[in-house]
Amino acid sequence: MSGTRRVTLRIQGKVQGVFFRESARTEAVRLGLTGWVRNRSDGAVEAVVEGAPAVLEEFIRWCQRGPTQARVSGVERMDGEATGEFSQFIVERTS
């Protein structure tokens, strides 16, 4: 997967109940990224995203704003090697 990177994000703030996950999925699909996004039990949203570095940075910038009703207070990121395990970008439902 040369040229492809993985980033794991933890987005904090008012990010649940504001259409954040579906909006993030729409943005990731628009950018051609793969991975997933889900709510965390601590109120944050978590995402694992793979794609070209420049496109990942664009997605991270979007996550720092989020959809209109979101109030993002912080985005933690962890960079890593892409695995190529994802074929699309999905919203994971937490049980």
What sign has the CA pseudo-torsion 66, 22, 68, 27?
A: positive
Catalytic entry in 5, 6, 21, 25: 21
43: its two tokens: 């109120």
30 is known as an active-site residue: no
39 is known as an active-site residue: yes
- Distance, in Å, from the CA atom of 32 to the CA atom of 10, rounded to the nearest integer, reads 20
Catalytic entry in 39, 61, 65, 71: 39
Residues annotated as catalytic are 21, 39
